[in-house]
Amino acid sequence: MVAVRSLWRLPALLLAAGLAAASMVPTAARADGVPRPDIPKAVKGKQCVLPTEDMRKNHMKYLLHHRDLTMHEGIRTKKFDLRECLDCHVPKEPKGQEVHVTSKKHFCQACHAYAGVKIDCFQCHSDQPSEQSPHFHTLSGRPIGHPGHKTVGTKLSAGELEAMAVGGGVK
Amino acid sequence: MSEDQNNNTDLARRRFMGGLAAAAAGTAVAPGIVLVATAEAKPAGQAVTSKVRWGMLIDTTKCADGCDACVRACNEENGLTQHDDPLRDAQWIRKVEVKNPDTGYSHSFPVMCQHCAEPPCADVCPTGASFKRADGIVLVDKHICIGCRYCMMACPYKARSFVHEPLHDQKSYMPRGMGTVESCTFCVHRVDNGETTACVEACDRDGHKALVFGDLKDPNSEIAQRLAAYGGTQIRKDLGLNPGVHYKGI
Amino acid sequence: MNHNDYTEIEGRSPGYIALLALLGVLILLGLAAAHYMETEGHHVTGMTNQIVWGTPHVFAVFLIVAASGALNVASIASVFGRSQYKPLSRLSGLLAVTLLVGGLAVLVLDLGRPDRLIVAMTTYNFKSIFAWNIFLYTGFMAVVAVYLWMMMERRMNTYSKPVGLFAFVWRLTLTTGTGSIFGFLVAREAYDSAIMAPMFIIMSFSFGLAIFLLLLMGLYRGTGRPLGDKILMRLKNLLGVFVAAVLYFVAVFHLTNLYITQHHGVERFILLDGGMYTQLFWGVQVFLGGIVPLFLLYHPKLGRLRSSIALASILVIVGGLAQVYVIIIGGQAYPLDLFPGMVVSSSFYDGVVNSYTPSLPEITLGVGGVALSIAMVLIGVKVLRFLPRSLADAEVDPHHTAASETASGEAAAAAGA
């Protein structure tokens, strides 16, 4: 009897000592003492397209899935457009002062450096907000995702068709 | 007849002629309105289908010697910075001067990725990064491109370029990176938005109008109409690859 | 020859250590070159948008082709039942694996995105011969490993014949796949031919055996183990046959092309006015790599000299490298024919012969791969029992020796009687 009771004395002593020690350690940013990454706040919008916790956990899944849809099937949506992500999360700075993904101040790199995961995206993709954020325009001036009602030079009007039929070219 | 009656008849005749003219004009114009009003862009969020096949018609008789508007437009649109190293600089479109040694006739015209229906580049790619989209545009999925350059060996048109140096400041709509292979995309970012390619736009803007881009499967499109009316051929037609780029005058 | 007749080499001589150290340095340099190419981009190499495959690919294809040919000696023993070659089977298997590893290392490190090797090994387009080759190459290493196990584990010896046959068929498929990388390309006039696959197979016989012969002579000389003439003569005669066969295939390939008017341009380029490529073809590939070795190997006196055999092997290897260089780089140097019959020019080097100069990073990477292969062989023979203790005539062919002993014994008895 006495032997069993004394067997538990040592672990109990150690536990008490550990708790005392932990409570004496000065805490860092948060109460539990675990350092957190310094993630820059988004520059616009109140809410991401999906809940934050969902994004934090699954953004790679969404990125990979939608990049394949866009690449192979041409499905382009505003919700899962990488440019829209960057437009919200990366501030537009004057030339020469851009925050690139090489710096921990970049939204993506802040967390990725902390997690120790190398980012492959920005070898090819621009890591800056799009050229004419908030809306991207092509050379023609029309924003992506907002198709125009008039197309450029791909269809002929009846008059042009008639002119062709007569034997002239289209001028 | 009394004058009033004559006047009435005249008036009626005029009205009738006016009505006829209006009807004729309306008939002439209405199809145009209907044609033009139909948006060509597919709605965002929908997959492309093989109901459409994108193609280009290049009228070499209208292509001006020494003009490289299409090349400059492509370079600017896609952010192809040139480093004064023609051996390694990306060239998605190039002007080619072709001379017949027997007759002496020579002319120049642009050559780019021909967007074949049976692309040899897609056949040889080990990972499937080089592929043909359902609407006929041949692309490189740079996410899975390993940079082996086998597609460059396989392309009969030497359409592809390899990125030999680290890149910065890419256009947001045209990602491109070191170690991957790239080529003309028919400005897929524009096409998916219902617009035409940068080279066609530049050629039209400069007044030459030698390039026409459109849906080969739509009998009402300009390109289909022109091909039906004037014909056209393809480079190395004998290879049986059925390119989407047609040429008139070669 | 039983199991105990194979022993590890001692591997403690200064020469051995020094050689291994040198190879180690070359391997490190090769890795450094690969790292440089990966971080700076391929603009530091001689490869361009016109010549997309350069010196690394020449080395890689040569090593891979030689790897499948190196297994030949083991196949002759297991598949074709020539027991005199049996002692050499283990070394043959080892060399096959190490040459393949060296070749693959060079190939993978030259990729534009070598960090995407995982993608290459998990995402496949099975219409591509490259995709099949990934399976064929890695599978070959596994098959040969099993084959070696069958040969080296006494209890599994009964299975070495069927596994040997499987390995033989596998390596023929592998070499066909390697040749088809080029043979399937309709775009390039220098390739686009069904003969590429069988020609690569016969090239593999020749290059693989030359490397095997050289390595065998070097290892036995270096370790002081006896290497009898019997086995050496058989091997060198076989090499001669393979060299002649390669010359035949090359001749048929070019003669056929000369008949096809469409291909006259590329034939003229390779055979006549291609400058360096013509010199490499006639001077190195055909003459140094074909005719001179044939002379050396079949000459009644020279053919029996070890130095001559070694020289012939070296020349076959040099000629082989030149052959692969002419195929890969010469084939790209000749311009694509977009407009047959026309004179073409552009800003993208249409219509002109493309120039290429091997750059230092490329050569370093290629040499690093060769060093890796040799180093792996040297370490392998020290760690495991690959090398027979002796390849003296008596060991190799006891029946023949016994017969001649009996004959001389009878003659002595008859003389004595």
Q: Is C291 on the interface with B (CB under 8 A)?
A: no
d(CA B39, CA C385): 75
Q: Are residues B92 and B29 in the same domain?
A: no
Give the nearest partner residue to C48 out of B87, B124, B125, using CB atoms. B87
The three state secondary structure string of A110-170 is HHHHHHCCCCCHHHCCCCCCCCCCCCCECCCCCECCCCCCCCCCCECCHHHHHHHHHCCCC
Q: Which amino acid is at C287?
A: F
Can you say whether the dihedral through the CA atoms of A7, A10, A11, A12 is positive or negative?
Answer: positive
Give the nearest partner residue to A144 out of B37, B173, B220, using CB atoms. B173
Q: Write down the pLDDT at residue A159.
A: 47
Name the residue with higher pLDDT: A70 or A28. A70
Q: Is B149 on the interface with C (CB under 8 A)?
A: yes
Q: Are residues B75 and B94 in the same domain?
A: yes
Q: Write down the pLDDT at residue A8.
A: 79
Q: How many CB atoms lie within 10 A of CB C32?
A: 14
pLDDT band at residue A162 using 50, 70 and 90 as cut-offs:
very low
CA neighbor of B72 nearest in space, from A113, A139, C9, A1:
A139
Can you say whether the dihedral through the CA atoms of C316, C317, C318, C323 is positive or negative?
Answer: positive
Q: Is C321 on the interface with B (CB under 8 A)?
A: no
Whole domain around residue B34: which residue ranges?
1-38
Q: Write down the pLDDT at residue A21.
A: 60
Mean pLDDT of A114-131: 91
DSSP state of C271: I
In the numeric block, the tokens 């994108």 are attached to B54
Q: Is C52 on the interface with B (CB under 8 A)?
A: yes
Q: Is C353 on the interface with B (CB under 8 A)?
A: no
**CA separation, residue A47 to residues A22, A52, A91, B199, C157 (Å):** 37, 8, 16, 39, 69
DSSP state of C336: P
C-alpha distance from A107 to closest chain B C-alpha (Å) = 17
Contact A150 B189 (CB under 8 A): no
Per-residue pLDDT of chain B (250 residues; tens, 9 = 90+): 566 666 777 777 777 777 777 666 665 555 444 443 333 556 778 899 999 999 999 999 999 989 999 999 999 999 998 989 999 999 999 999 999 999 999 999 999 999 999 999 999 999 999 999 999 999 999 999 999 999 999 999 999 999 999 999 899 999 999 999 999 999 999 999 999 999 999 999 999 999 999 999 999 999 999 999 999 999 999 999 999 999 999 8
d(CA C57, CA C62): 8
Q: Are residues B176 and B195 in the same domain?
A: yes
Q: Are residues B74 and B155 in the same domain?
A: yes
| A104: exposed, middle or buried (Cβ count in 10 Å: 0-12, 13-18, 19+) | middle
Query: pLDDT below 70 — which residues of chain C?
Result: 1, 398-417
Q: Are residues B30 and B89 in the same domain?
A: no
Q: Are residues B239 and B210 in the same domain?
A: yes
Pairing state of beta strands B93-99 and C387-388? unpaired
For the record, the structure tokens of C362 come out as 């490329």
Q: Which amino acid is at B139?
A: L
End-to-end CA distance of chain C: 36
Chain B touching partners, 3 or more CB pairs below 8 A: A, C
For the record, the structure tokens of A65 come out as 């899935």
Contact A74 B192 (CB under 8 A): yes
26-85 in B: which are within 8 Å (CB) of C? 71, 85
Q: In chain C, what residues touch B164 (CB-CB under 8 Å)?
A: 41-43, 48
Q: In chain B, what residues touch C186 (CB-CB under 8 Å)?
A: 120, 154, 156, 239
Q: Write down the pLDDT at residue C400.
A: 58
Pairing state of beta strands B54-59 and B245-248? parallel
The number of folded domains in chain B is 2
Which CATH number covers residue B186?
3.30.70.20
Percent of chain A residues topping a pLDDT of 70: 67
Least-confidence region, from A1-5, A123-127, B56-60, B91-95: A1-5
Q: Are residues B174 and B209 in the same domain?
A: yes
Helix (H) / strand (E) containing B131: strand B130-132
**Averaged pLDDT of chain A:** 75
Q: Write down the pLDDT at residue A30.
A: 64
Q: Write down the pLDDT at residue A29.
A: 53
Per residue in C329-343, is it b (16+ CB within 10 Å) or e — as a string?
A: bbbbbbbbbbbeebe
The three state secondary structure string of C119-167 is HHHHCCCCCCHHHHHHHHHHHHHHHHHHHHHHHHCHHHHHHHHHHHHHH
Percent of chain A residues topping a pLDDT of 90: 39
Q: Half-sphere exposure (CA, 13 Å, Cβ side) for A149?
A: 3
d(CA B241, CA A3): 88
Collect all residues with Cβ–Cβ distance below 8 Å to C80 and sequence separation of at least 6: none
Q: Are residues B46 and B106 in the same domain?
A: yes
Q: Write down the pLDDT at residue B9.
A: 74
Q: Are residues B125 and B204 in the same domain?
A: yes
d(CA C237, CA B155): 43
CA neighbor of C37 nearest in space, from C54, C21, C62:
C54
Name the residue with higher pLDDT: C249 or A20. C249
d(CA B127, CA B119): 15
Contact C344 B86 (CB under 8 A): no
Longest dimension (CA), chain B: 93
Q: Are residues B129 and B209 in the same domain?
A: yes
**CA separation, residue C301 to residues C242, C277, C309 (Å):** 20, 34, 11
d(CA A165, CA B24): 17
Judge contact between C350 and B103, C-beta under 8 A.
Answer: no
Contact B222 A156 (CB under 8 A): yes
Q: Are residues B24 and B129 in the same domain?
A: no
C-alpha distance from B28 to closest chain C C-alpha (Å) = 43
Residue A27 confidence (pLDDT) above 80: no
Phi/psi of residue C387, nearest 5 degrees: -95, 130
Q: Are residues B76 and B153 in the same domain?
A: yes
Beta strands in C172-219 (DSSP E): none
pTM of the model: 0.85
